[in-house]
Chain A
Amino acid sequence: MRSTSGRRLWDSLGAENTSFLWGAKAAVALGELARGSALGGRIGELRHRSVLVATREQLTAALALLELDGVASRLILCPPDFPAEHLSYLVDAAAVDAVVFDQSAPAQIPLAVRCSPKIKPGVCDHRHDQRPDRGALRQTEWVLLTSGTTGRPKLVAHTLESLTGAIEEVSKPAGKLVWSTFYDIRRYGGLQIFLRASLTGASMVFSSATEPMADFLSRAGAHGVTHISGTPSHWRRELMSPAAHKIAPEYIRLSGEIADQDILNRLHSCYPQARIAHAFASTEAGVGFAVNDGLAGFPAHFVERSSAGVEMRVVDGSLRIRSTGAASRYLGREDASFLGADGFVDTGDMVELRGDRYYFVGRRDGVINVGGLKVHPEEVEAVINRHPRVRMSLVQARKNPLTGALVVADVVLEQLPDRAPDGAPGNAPERSEELRRELLQFCANALPRHKVPAAINIVPNLAVAATGKLARRHA
């Protein structure tokens, strides 16, 4: 484990660094950044302030984070899809008194500093502050936003130390690593990757929400991405892209959703040279563990052991984590806590012991009640996804007068190479009816009756939320 205690993110940069940060529209050489500023040298104005990092592009957000960690008292990472109606709440709760922007700055914040990938040279003195009171600067608080159940965002407070607790030393010369992620770096999963890259001085390719998958993959491939992460939903989409072969990663990481055996197998067969790991993490609990053996679930001995600052327990079927990587608190919600009295975070992720492994079965709050029997949508999806014709699926509840609810499934099929003459995918209606019956039978063979979908709809695609997770509507 790498200790970042007392370090600043900036310290990992050096003028001799030959790595790059590549955005969709611009790139920055880290060596150049080390000798200049993306903030026009206005770092001094942001010292000890609570700074909202509200850029459109991930690249400019990354530059601001590199320059302001250890300078600002607080950095609030605002994803580009943050709803404007919650801005006033955010400004109040986090006592925001400055904003860093790249396109337009919200009007109500008094100090606005533009961040640009055009590095202004020769202004590094502001950061390498040698004044005697330097030691008095407290550690920067990093604040991540997650969507609360009421729609109001939750402000999850971390430190660089808690965020990087799970990051292991990378033995390979950092200059040769090129990281990328389908996540936005202003979300926990993406930030983990950005911090890994930054602390080791490695290069990174940023994705862009508006960029087609094929363009991103071409860009990532052209920059020689070696390490890349995303949710299982990101990866299912990635595998659907004709440009999937443009990357040849050495390391693939999945997190944020249940990695079932199907997606692990598909990734392995598409990228046989890659090491494939799936990690469990949450914004509040931090990184729990990573699994590297290519199998779904995790070894039972992970539970009740204490390693690398992480302890895990299973209580009432849900995974609990106590970790040095956990967040410290919710800002502006001193009444609400995610920590139990024993210091464990209840992740709300339900697990089941089968043999010597635990398997994730779904979220506690996502359970569908079919006539008094519980169904986790994710366990049904895992079965459907095993069918060779299925690319991805979404299982939801449907109201029913007899059982309260039933399970129904939307299914995206694997594209067939044999297309109909009109160019449409080769799924004639009669064949799709046959396939629906086959899928029903497939589910009936693997699941108890109440978990078998009452209806299976074949759909052209499924919505993936900005978080990278399959969009589920909760009742």
Chain B
Amino acid sequence: MNPNNMSVRSEVISQFQQVAEEQNRVLAALTDDLPLLESGLDSLCLAVIVARLEDVLGVDPFTKSGDAPFPVTLGDFIRTYEHAKH
């Protein structure tokens, strides 16, 4: 795996953990096939994660790509950022 992608992945994971902690949420095990809706985070939490990732990674791939569907699983979510960073 390319080291750039590694850092994107770890940043995403770290934001999930950070926001879950701030919002007092119990986070499910963060596997790639975890549906985001079952992660323990609601849409406001995910919105905050997207905003924070834009600050850290310099990109918001969802707003940028217009009406592209929001990813279903954590793996899709991470891949969207990995693609956007290239």
Q: Are these two chains actual partners, yes or no? A: yes
**A interface residue numbers (CB < 8 A to B):** 370-371, 398-403, 406, 408, 440-441, 444, 449-450, 454-455
**A403–B43 contact, CB under 8 A?**
yes
Range, interface on chain B? 10 to 19
**A399–B44 contact, CB under 8 A?**
no
**A402–B55 contact, CB under 8 A?**
no
**B63–A403 contact, CB under 8 A?**
no
**A401–B50 contact, CB under 8 A?**
yes
Encoded as 1 (CB less than 8 Å from any A CB) or 0, chain B from 19 to 62 comes to 00011000000000000000000011011101110010000101
Measured between beta carbons, the chain A residues less than 8 angstroms from B44 are 370-371, 402-403, 449-450
Known: A370-B44, A440-B22, A449-B44. A400 touches B63 (CB 8 A): yes
**B43–A371 contact, CB under 8 A?**
yes
**A402–B46 contact, CB under 8 A?**
yes
**B47–A403 contact, CB under 8 A?**
yes
Known: A440-B22, A444-B22, A449-B23. A398 touches B43 (CB 8 A): no
Measured between beta carbons, the chain B residues less than 8 angstroms from A399 are 63
A112 vs B60: C-alpha distance when bound (angstroms): 56
**B interface residue numbers (CB < 8 A to A):** 22-23, 43-44, 46-48, 50-52, 55, 60, 62-63, 70
**B22–A455 contact, CB under 8 A?**
no
Q: Which residue of A lies closest to B68 (CB)?
A: A401
* Residue in A370, A401, A454 whose beta carbon sits within 8 Å of that of B52 in the complex: A454
A406 vs B24: C-alpha distance when bound (angstroms): 19
A155 vs B17: C-alpha distance when bound (angstroms): 54
Interface class of chain B by DSSP: helix
Q: How far does the Cβ of B7 sit from chain A's closest Cβ, in whole Å? A: 19
**A398–B22 contact, CB under 8 A?**
no
Known: A370-B44, A406-B47, A454-B47; 4 extra A-B contacts, CB below 8 A, are: A400-B51, A401-B70, A406-B51, A450-B44
**B51–A455 contact, CB under 8 A?**
yes
Closest 10 CB pairs of A and B: A401-B62, A402-B47, A454-B51, A403-B47, A454-B48, A400-B47, A402-B43, A401-B63, A406-B51, A402-B46
A370 vs B22: C-alpha distance when bound (angstroms): 18
Q: Which residue of B lies closest to A402 (CB)?
A: B47
Q: Which residue of A lies closest to B23 (CB)?
A: A449
* Residue in A398, A440, A444, A450 whose beta carbon sits within 8 Å of that of B51 in the complex: A398
A408 vs B47: C-alpha distance when bound (angstroms): 12
Measured between beta carbons, the chain A residues less than 8 angstroms from B22 are 440-441, 444
Measured between beta carbons, the chain A residues less than 8 angstroms from B23 are 449
Q: Which of B51, B62, B63, B70 has the most chain A CB atoms closer than 10 A to its own CB?
A: B51
